[in-house]
């Protein structure tokens, strides 16, 4: 165990949901952990996400599942325990609930994709019910007048959601309770190394020494990796979201129409999202994108046209060459790791990422073989 000031078992760079989750996981195992972020904890892509949890296969189906699908399956199992543990530890209710999701298609391209997704769900043993217009209208009365617009769709009752800002507040509180040293507003300037190991991180607030290091800085991870001699292709993908105030119960489930969605909260607030924009590191909202999201909402749920906009925001998702995360060791360094690039799945996969990375970093058996998600694939 580390002992002297600014010397820790693990230094994590990046205070989003992945970094916070890993810090909490390691601290619960008795490790001393320091978590640094150049901004505020949890206020980038993680804060902007809707917090929907797709279904994944049961472990009995893992032989035919991809590594990412296995991560989805285990994370879905971990999520309710994760939220319950956070509530018991911190008193913060994240409003985790299994509400189910409708996946719908409104044009031919979406219909083809929806058919493939539904077929894959069934192959993996996930309960997935095909929907016609009458069934859509019954499940979601807010869509009833426009239900004939949908070409096909399916319903997954096991899918869930939570409120991401509440999860992040709970993780910050839980980390503090477990003794994690949280350092917002700290910029990483460079790493110091000896042979094949990192020995310290030079920061704007002085050096930090650790036995192990993990980069979990979302779409900024590629820049950090470059300082370690690693070419890690990553790009920010902007997502803009609108939050409107509505009556409780207007929507009953998560609803995807193609890649866009409605996510209802228990208090009646309704998330409408989101865009997928290759706009560099520009996080601001645009008038055209917000107007397009509102047109999407009113075209399928006319009642939303009368509801006031409460808030709008944007986040920068960490995209990779294949939109799959990088999980594993930095190849030429004995004690440096990556947990980044989750694209749209960071909130969803945070519990399983924390578990898998804890196992890898502590040389324990991992429940999932994530070797296919190593950084080596970026060279192919």
Q: What local confidence, expressed as pLDDT, does residue 171 receive? A: 98
How far, in Å, CA of 308 to CA of 304, rounded?
A: 8
How far, in Å, CA of 121 to CA of 124, rounded?
A: 5
Q: What local confidence, expressed as pLDDT, does residue 376 receive? A: 87
Residue span(s) of the chain under CATH 3.50.50.60 come to: 7-91+164-232+322-379
Other Cβ atoms less than 10 A from the Cβ of 306: the count is 9
Q: What local confidence, expressed as pLDDT, does residue 5 receive? A: 59
Q: What local confidence, expressed as pLDDT, does residue 3 receive? A: 38
Q: What local confidence, expressed as pLDDT, does residue 2 receive? A: 40
Tokens of 150: 């949908």
Rounded to 10°, the helix 346-361/17-28 angle is 40
How far, in Å, CA of 52 to CA of 57, rounded?
A: 16
Positive or negative torsion for Cα 127, 129, 135, 141? positive
Give the helix, strand, coil percentages of the chain, each rounded to 5: 40, 25, 35
Domain 7-91+164-232+322-379 has CATH 3.90.950.10: no
How far, in Å, CA of 103 to CA of 258, rounded?
A: 7
Residue span(s) of the chain under CATH 3.30.9.10 come to: 101-157+235-319
Alpha carbon of residue 114 to chain centroid: 22
Bin 306: left if φ > 0, else alpha if -120 < ψ < 50, else beta.
Answer: alpha
Q: Whole-model pTM?
A: 0.96
Profile the chain (380 residues) by mean pLDDT over runs of 10 residues.
69 98 98 97 95 95 96 97 98 98 97 97 96 97 97 98 98 98 96 95 96 97 92 94 96 97 97 96 96 98 96 96 96 96 97 98 97 82
DSSP state of 375: G
What is the topology classification, in CATH, of domain 101-157+235-319? D-Amino Acid Oxidase; Chain A, domain 2 (3.30.9)
As to burial, measured by CB atoms within 10 angstroms (0-12 exposed, 13-18 middle, 19+ buried), residue 352 is buried
Q: What local confidence, expressed as pLDDT, does residue 379 receive? A: 58
- 319-329: b or e for each residue (b if 16 or more CB lie within 10 Å)? bbeeebbbbbb
Q: What is the CA radius of gyration of the chain?
A: 21
Contact 284, 314 (CB under 8 A): yes
How far, in Å, CA of 351 to CA of 75, rounded?
A: 6
Other Cβ atoms less than 10 A from the Cβ of 288: the count is 10
The beta strand positions in the chain, using DSSP E, are: 7-13, 33-37, 52-53, 101-105, 129-130, 152-156, 160-161, 181-184, 188-194, 197-203, 206-215, 235-245, 254-257, 260-264, 269-273, 309-319, 326-329, 336-340
How far, in Å, CA of 238 to CA of 278, rounded?
A: 6
How far, in Å, CA of 293 to CA of 176, rounded?
A: 38
Range 92-96 contact pairs with CB under 8 angstroms and sequence separation of 24 or more: 92/166, 92/169, 92/170, 92/173, 93/166, 94/162, 94/163, 94/166, 94/167, 94/170, 95/161, 95/162, 95/163, 95/166, 95/265, 95/266, 96/160, 96/161, 96/162
Q: What local confidence, expressed as pLDDT, does residue 236 receive? A: 97
């Amino acid at each position: 165990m580390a002992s002297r000031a600014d010397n820790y078992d693990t230094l994590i760079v990046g205070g989003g949901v992945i970094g916070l989750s890993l810090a909490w996981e390691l601290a619960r195992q008795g490790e001393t952990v320091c978590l640094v972020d150049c901004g505020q904890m949890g206020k980038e892509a993680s804060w902007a996400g809707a917090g929907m949890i797709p279904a994944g296969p049961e472990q009995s189906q893992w032989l035919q599942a991809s590594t990412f699908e296995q991560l989805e399956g285990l994370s879905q199992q971990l999520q309710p325990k994760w939220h319950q543990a956070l509530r018991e530890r911190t008193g913060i209710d994240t409003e985790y609930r299994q509400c189910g999701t409708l996946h719908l298609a409104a044009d031919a391209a979406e219909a083809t994709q929806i058919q493939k997704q539904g077929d894959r769900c069934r192959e993996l043993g996930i309960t997935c019910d095909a929907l016609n217009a009458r069934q859509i209208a019954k499940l979601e009365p807010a869509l009833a007048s426009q239900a004939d617009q949908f070409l096909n769709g399916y319903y997954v009752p096991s899918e869930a959601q939570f409120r991401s800002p509440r999860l992040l507040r709970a993780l910050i509180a839980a980390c503090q309770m477990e003794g994690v040293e949280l350092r917002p507003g700290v910029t990483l300037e460079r790493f110091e190394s000896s042979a094949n190991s990192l020995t310290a991180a030079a920061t704007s607030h002085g050096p930090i020494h650790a036995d192990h290091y993990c980069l979990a800085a979302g779409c900024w991870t590629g820049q950090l990796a470059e300082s370690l001699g690693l070419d890690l292709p990553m790009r920010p993908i902007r997502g803009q979201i609108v939050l409107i105030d509505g009556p409780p119960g207007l929507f009953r489930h998560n609803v995807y129409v193609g890649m866009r969605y409605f996510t209802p909260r228990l208090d009646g607030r309704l998330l409408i999202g989101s865009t997928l924009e290759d706009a560099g590191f520009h996080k601001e909202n645009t008038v055209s994108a917000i107007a397009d999201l509102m047109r999407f909402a009113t075209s399928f749920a006319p009642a939303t046209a009368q509801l006031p906009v409460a808030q709008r925001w944007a986040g920068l998702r960490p995209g990779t060459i294949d939109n799959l995360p990088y999980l594993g060791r930095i190849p030429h360094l004995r004690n440096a790791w990556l947990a980044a690039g989750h694209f749209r799945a960071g909130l969803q996969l945070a519990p399983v990422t924390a578990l898998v990375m804890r196992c890898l970093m502590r040389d324990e058996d991992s429940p999932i073989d994530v070797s296919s998600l190593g950084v080596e694939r970026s060279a192919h």
